[in-house]
Amino acid sequence: MGIEETSHELRPLSGDPQPRAIKMAPQTRAQKMKKCFGENLLTMLTVAGVVGGGVLGFTLRASKPIWTPREVMYVQFIGDLFLNMLKGLIIPLLVSSIVAAIGSLDLTLSSKIGFRAITYYVATTTLAVFQGIVLVNVIKPGKNQGSSNITRTGSSRNVTTADTLMDLARNMFPPNLLQAATHQYRTVLSYDPSKNDQVDPILRQDRYNLYSWNIDHEFTEGSNVLGLVVFSVILGIAIGRMGELGKPLLKVFESMSEAMMVITNWVIWMSPVGVLFLVSSKILSMESIGTVISQLGLYFFTVLLGLFCHGFIVIPLIYTVGTRKSPFKFIANMSQAIVTAFGTASSSASLPVSMACLEEKNHCDERVSRFVMPIGATINMDGTALYEAVAALFIAQVRNVEYGFGNIVAVSITATMASIGAAGIPQAGLVTMVMVLDTVGLPAEDVTLIIAVDWLLDRFRTTVNVLGDALGAGLVEHLSKDELDALDALGEPESVKKKASNANHQNEWCNTPM
């Protein structure tokens, strides 16, 4: 029962009179299950890590109501190690992959691939924002809920929309690449009472008059990933145009990118334990979940519904229409990346895992995955865009601020910009939210109304962000297949070698020796 016989008939070799039939060992159902189990062991363990982390967190919380920051730090320690390992890979992987992928393509093909990816990003982000706006206007989670009912937590930044957009543009062109690896540019507004005393008495009454605020510029801690992406794209294009002279440099980046993928294949095995401790420590340090859900439950539900529709209906549908392939297997093959995104709440930290899933399980051409994934992880955040739109309009509803069609259009544009500007790190969307709030005339400090549930929503939106990037890469690869094949047919030695090297390290982590 359950035995399938497979036989492969080989054509006779010259001088070999008889066709030779080779009987492959029959595969029993048990063997098949074992193979399937082996291939998905790590993903199953990682899912168990998330669930186990939840159980552990709530059990520890029940055993002792208040946990000191030191105790939480001990629980988080292993999770931090895992996160650091992934974070350490981000910059070398991102820079080398983009440079190597773009440098190995000719300019026409790389601009076609780039154009397709950007079109997909713009289309899906716009759709995400649109869904968010429709849902928040239908469900109206903030109506009949005064802001005084909601506990404010955390603090906010005091900047304007113009500052946020200009910071985004400044960060695209870092003055110092080494510094960009560790710091990013930021405008800081500080109130200067002495200046206020000098202004016209009528103006003085308005504390927010422009004369009394100093504009300072500072570099704050945190990698300027956007700046590094822009530079890598430019360097890749330059190498592609240099011909023979650029080849040695291209080789360095190719080799570096490959090395980072090898390390990723090792680090990935830390995921189950890493996410277990990340999730459990987060549960230990959170506010009382009951209060939070009673205050913000409907808002939470609206965002979650939107994320689910977008991540599991809209973008898979776009993928299916574009590729005429079923998205289920593709998404199932990305499970490891999806769980990592949920566990780390960071699309940048999940990037190595997403690229490994894409190349080794979905067999995506690495010239596409290494080109579009790092860019997608930096600028394409559908989940964040949807959340920004819902959150801003939710706060407007809570504060009873009327908003018309004009505001809705402005929210759509700023939510899209805010998602592009948000870094792929935990709760970055909250920081860029300020400019979306500004468009409906709300003060920056109103983000404190939604901070309580943000850590949890962040995990869901990061999952959708990562899924959106992966499906986009799959779609772009499909649309570019003919051109890539034509490049291979030209006998481009580099691309042929790349395919071979990909095949060599394929399935290193998804095929567990059993």
Residue 425 phi/psi, 5-degree rounding, is -125, 165
Binding of ligand ASP by 164 (CB under 6 A): no
Q: For residue 362, what is the DSSP state?
A: S
- Per CB under 6 A, does 345 bind ligand ASP? yes
Stretch that binds ligand ASP, among 253-261, 279-287, 397-405, 420-428 (CB under 6 A): 420-428
Nearest-approach distance from CB 463 to ligand ASP, in angstroms: 9
Measured from the CB atom, is 95 or 385 closer to ligand ASP? Answer: 385
Shortest Cβ distance from residue 428 to ligand ASP (Å)? 4
The residue type at 66: I
Report the DSSP beta bridge partners of residue 183: 221
Give yes or no for residue 336 binding ligand ASP (CB under 6 A).
no
* From 61, 183, 461, 478, residue interacting with ligand ASP (rule: CB under 6 A): 461
Q: Tell which residue, 313, 301, 330, has the closest CA to residue 128.
A: 313
Counting contacts by CB under 6 A, is residue 421 touching ligand ASP? no
Asked whether 268 and 353 are in contact (CB, 8 A), the reply is yes
4 φψ region: left (φ > 0), alpha (ψ -120 to 50), beta (else): beta
Question: In the complex with ligand ASP, which residue's Cβ is closer, 240 or 383?
Answer: 383
Both structure tokens of 154 = 């955390």
Residue 400 and residue 377: Cα distance in Å, rounded? Answer: 35
The separation between CA 478 and the C-alpha centre of its own chain, rounded to angstroms, equals 21
Question: Taking a C-beta distance cutoff of 8 angstroms, is the pair 319, 479 a contact?
Answer: no
Q: Is 429 in the site for ligand ASP (CB under 6 A)?
A: yes
Residue with tokens 């960009």: 180
Nearer to ligand ASP, 327 or 426 (CB): 426
Contact positions with ligand ASP (CB under 6 A) in 254-273: none
Residue 424 as a binder of ligand ASP (CB under 6 A): the answer is yes
Alpha helices in 221-324 (DSSP H): 225-242, 247-267, 271-285, 289-309, 315-323
From the list 27-35, 120-128, 339-347, 409-417, the region that binds ligand ASP by CB under 6 A is 339-347
Q: Which of 124, 462, 480, 502 binds ligand ASP (CB under 6 A)?
A: 462
Q: Rounded to the nearest 10 degrees, how much is the dihedral formed by the CA atoms of 347, 306, 163, 190? A: -90
Nearer to ligand ASP (CB atom), residue 253 or residue 299: 299
Angle between helices 451-489 and 493-504 (to 10 degrees): 130
Closest by CA to 119, choosing from 310, 313, 322, is: 322
Kindly tell me which residue out of 117, 428, 434, 473 binds ligand ASP, with binding defined by CB under 6 A: 428
Which residue number places its CB atom closest to ligand ASP? 429
Closer to ligand ASP at the Cβ: 150 or 428?
A: 428
What one-letter code names the amino acid at 128?
A: A
Q: Which of 358, 381, 408, 452 touches ligand ASP by CB under 6 A?
A: 381
Residue type, 176: N
Q: Where does this chain touch ligand ASP (CB under 6 A) — which range of 55-63, 181-189, 454-462, 475-483?
A: 454-462
Give the residue, chosen from 103, 374, 426, 468, that forms a contact with ligand ASP under the rule CB under 6 A: 426
H helix runs in 399-511, sequence order: 405-421, 428-439, 451-489, 493-504
In angstroms, give the least distance from the CB of 427 to ligand ASP. 5
Does 427 interact with ligand ASP (rule: CB under 6 A)? yes
Closest distance between ligand ASP and the C-beta of residue 460, in Å?
10
The residue among 364 and 381 lying less far from ligand ASP, judged by its C-beta, is 381
Residue 139 or residue 428: which is nearer to ligand ASP going by CB?
428
Element (H, E) at 187: strand 183-191
Toward ligand ASP, which CB reaches closer, 311 or 429? 429
Taking CB under 6 A as the criterion, the residue among 163, 366, 458, 469 binding ligand ASP is 458
**Residue 133 vs 420, nearer CB to ligand ASP:** 420
Q: Give CA–CA dist 236/113, Å, rounded.
A: 14
CA torsion through residues 238, 239, 240, 243, sign: positive
Count residues binding ligand ASP (CB under 6 A): 16
Residue 376, C-beta contacts closer than 8 angstroms, at least 6 positions apart: 117, 121, 468, 469, 472, 473
Least Å distance between CB 468 and ligand ASP? 10
Identify which range of 19-27, 209-217, 243-251, 461-469 contacts ligand ASP by CB under 6 A: 461-469
d(CA 119, CA 364): 19
The answer to whether 422 contacts ligand ASP (rule: CB under 6 A) is yes
Burial profile 221-237: b = 16 or more Cβ within 10 angstroms, e = fewer: eebbbbbbbbbbbebbb
Minimum CB distance to ligand ASP, residue 52 (Å) = 22
Residue span binding ligand ASP (CB under 6 A) among the ranges 174-182, 393-401, 434-442, 459-467: 459-467
The verdict on 465 binding ligand ASP (CB under 6 A) reads yes
User: At closest approach, how far in Å is the CB of 96 from ligand ASP?
Assistant: 21
Q: Residues 383 to 412: which contact ligand ASP by CB under 6 A?
A: 384
Q: Cα separation of 454 and 341, whole Å?
A: 15
User: Which residue in 333, 346, 362, 495 binds ligand ASP (CB under 6 A)?
Assistant: 346
Q: Return the residue matching tokens 């051409």.
A: 365
Q: Which residues bind ligand ASP (CB under 6 A)?
A: 345-347, 381, 384, 422, 424-429, 458, 461-462, 465
